[in-house]
Amino acid sequence: MKHHYHHKDQESRQNNRIIFGVFLILFGCLLVLKNMGVFSYYMKDIIFSWPALLVGLGALFFAGKKDKTTGLILMGVGGVFLLPIIFDWGFDWRGVFWPVILIVVGIFIIRKRNECMPEGRKIDSNDTGYIDELNVFGGGEKMINTKNFKGGKITCLFGGSEINLTNADLAEGINVIDVFAMFGGCVLIVPSDWDVKVEVSAVLGGVADKRMPTANYVVEPKKELVIKGLVALGGCEIKSYK
């Protein structure tokens, strides 16, 4: 027997708490130094700007997460907008904000598409055990009935996706669903007796694990589903039915 919220989930949540706690401590220390007059006006403009906030968060995510992608994106975007503040370049950052965001999203999607799955496996579009969902300015719902589900990728930009895995069975080994949602969201419905680990990072967004706990159940040995990825200005919801 195994409790629904297993040790790996607790470890992941503990890491998130540590990252958030370290961020609050560092930010509090900087505020103390600011109020003590340690920083010059020039340094205040740099340290307490929103690009510096992104760089700081990115550094913490990079150091504290196994998946370094979120940290790299935050540091990259923050760095692009921090350089003009540091070097006092006279230009309107609003004019380049969206182009930079689109470039970063494009690089991120290409990188994710080329990544290998665990154990050297790659997504094969002809293999019904994988899903490869892309929703842009739209939405969709899909019922997965395969008895050898191996994971896949879900990308939502200004759109949404609902994937129902209630009638599916996991393949042996570690099976990964890689989620990327920006200005959109996705819903994953998983069986309550699956061994599921959620490793989705959220930036100005939310991740809700609403799986319904059951009194007792037996987890299938050697079968695990890992849901990872990034949600930015969007949401990801994982739920199950009793």
pLDDT for the residue numbered 91: 61
Please indicate, yes or no, whether residues 140 and 45 belong to a single structural domain of this protein. Answer: no
Please indicate, yes or no, whether residues 163 and 230 belong to a single structural domain of this protein. Answer: yes
pLDDT for the residue numbered 195: 86
Number of domains in the chain: 2
Question: Is residue 1 a part of any domain in this protein?
Answer: no
Q: Rounded distance, CA 83 to CA 208, Å?
A: 35
Question: Is residue 91 a part of any domain in this protein?
Answer: yes
Per-residue pLDDT for the chain (242 aa), expressed as one digit of tens each?
A: 344 444 445 555 566 677 777 778 888 888 888 888 787 877 887 888 888 888 888 887 777 766 666 777 778 878 877 887 787 776 666 666 667 777 777 776 666 655 545 555 555 555 568 888 888 888 888 898 888 898 888 888 888 889 999 888 888 888 999 888 888 889 999 988 888 888 888 877 788 888 876 666 656 667 889 998 888 888 899 988 76
Please indicate, yes or no, whether residues 103 and 168 belong to a single structural domain of this protein. Answer: no
pTM for this entry: 0.60
Among residues 79, 114, 149, the one where a domain terminates is 114
pLDDT for the residue numbered 6: 47
Sheet with 235-239: strands ordered across:
139-143, 160-164, 185-189, 235-239, 206-210
DSSP-based three-state secondary structure for 205: coil
pLDDT for the residue numbered 5: 40
Among residues 82, 114, 146, the one where a domain terminates is 114
Please indicate, yes or no, whether residues 108 and 14 belong to a single structural domain of this protein. Answer: yes
Strands (E), the chain: 130-136, 139-143, 151-157, 160-164, 173-182, 185-189, 196-203, 206-210, 223-232, 235-239
Copy the structure tokens of residue 182: 């920006």
Q: At residue 206, what is the residue type? A: G
Q: Rounded distance, CA 151 to CA 187, Å?
A: 15
pLDDT for the residue numbered 11: 57
Please indicate, yes or no, whether residues 139 and 96 belong to a single structural domain of this protein. Answer: no
Question: Is residue 2 a part of any domain in this protein?
Answer: no
Please indicate, yes or no, whether residues 133 and 233 belong to a single structural domain of this protein. Answer: yes
Please indicate, yes or no, whether residues 157 and 202 belong to a single structural domain of this protein. Answer: yes
pLDDT, tens only, 73-128: 778 878 877 887 787 776 666 666 667 777 777 776 666 655 545 555 555 555 56
Radius of gyration (C-alpha) of the chain in whole angstroms: 20
* Residues spanned by the domain of 48: 7-114
Torsion of the alpha carbons at 76, 207, 164 and 190, rounded to the nearest 10: 120
Among residues 94, 114, 134, the one where a domain terminates is 114
